[in-house]
Amino acid sequence: MTGPIARTIEDDELADWLYVPRTAMLGAPPDEETVERMRERVQLDRCVAAFDGSPDGRPVGSAGSFHAPVAVPGGRVDAGAVTAVGVLPTHRRQGHLSRMMQLQLADIAERDEPIAILVAAEYPIYGRFGYGPATDAAGVRIDTSAPDLWVDPPTGRIELVDDNVAFTKALVDVYARVWSTIPGHLEYEDWRWPVQTGEVEGTFGSSEERRSRTKVVWRDAAGEVGGVAAYTVKDEWQDNRPQGELRCEHLVTATAEAERELVRYMSEVDWTARVVLQLRPVDEPVALWLRDGRRAVIIDRSDHCWIRVLDVAAALTARRYAADGRLVLEIDDPMGFANGRYALEGGPDGALCTPTDDDPDLVLDVKALGSAYLGGHTWHRLAAGGWVSEARAGALERASTMFTSPRAPWCALTF
């Protein structure tokens, strides 16, 4: 027997590796078909496993990643998108996650991916490894029980789509037009989209449920698809009156007009009294389209994507800044990847970040840089939380102005 270790897996270990996150996330063990599908989709050299040294040699922890460019203000940056992280309930609190995170982050850094990004199942886990909450997401609940909700008249036309292949194509086409303009969005691997729509079988969740969602597209006056939506309706009646709830799982649009018209359509579906839009940006404009904006309420706002900066110079050079300025950041990274002092000179037209010996303007933990990176959290807020210290007067104001994003960073899918 050997001691506990973390390493990448071999092909014949994939089924046991996949068993770990499914069990940790309260799912059923994978069947042979699921394992074979995953064999075609994952890179084994990006699948990290923890082993406790037991004679059976089976993994007790899992952590995967895939390459994904991420949109940042004014540009994009290569990232290691982290997924399938889990430790068996029999092996928690034994250091397995720490070993996997150290190995995985080193691997992502070696691949010249300046940041790692993930969706945290639980808030307290990933700050220990240098991740900071970078984007928030929320739901929007709309009371549609009153008539004459909308300020403006309808435009374009809505079409029902009962062909999952056609819907997937429309979804991919719309997303491809806009993802790089919205900070926090990822360019996903091709196989993920037909899984999202139920066109092909997935690994987690019910593919039948995805297939059975009602799917619609909106076309503008020229006939071009500008947005897509997929939803389900929970039928409910009270006092012999319909009180159903429509829940929209996917809403991807190229324009605000397309979003407005798809939301309008869903608000007018018969036998419903509420619409819930899931996983939306925190600056969602729905309330501004209604005669009574209080009928649209932000719900379930919480952290969504977390970012871990590994290569400070490359990450900060990749994005653009709202105002010209110079900052010297002194970063504390106990894991060593981002530790040091860096000079950032940037503005709307470009940026350059390099190591420096100059006196710092701001002193911070690496997780604070992840939180500020996309503009989702102001430097003033991070300083109030004790994550950043101002070493030179005026630096917080300058940093907050430079890092501001014109729209709230947001990620349309959980991965």
Query: What residues act catalytically?
Result: 126, 415
- CB-neighbour burial class of residue 197 (10 A; exposed 0-12, middle 13-18, buried 19+): buried
Report how far apart, in Å, the C-alpha atoms of 73 and of each of 58, 211, 401 are.
43, 35, 13
d(CA 375, CA 253): 22
Q: DSSP secondary-structure letter at 199? A: S
Report how far apart, in Å, the C-alpha atoms of 151 and of each of 13, 148, 275, 285, 292 are.
58, 8, 18, 13, 9
Strand partners, 328: 343
Query: Nearest CA to 307 among 299, 298, 316?
Result: 316
Q: Give the list of residues 6+ apart from residue 359 with CB closer than 8 angstroms, or none.
A: 328, 391, 392
Query: Nearest CA to 77 among 193, 188, 186, 190?
Result: 186
Report how far apart, in Å, the C-alpha atoms of 247 and of each of 134, 259, 298, 318 are.
26, 15, 14, 37
Query: Nearest CA to 17 among 76, 55, 62?
Result: 62
- b/e string for 80-103 if b means 16 or more Cβ within 10 A? bbbbbbbbbeebeeeebbebbbeb
**Amino acid, single-letter form, for residue 220:** D
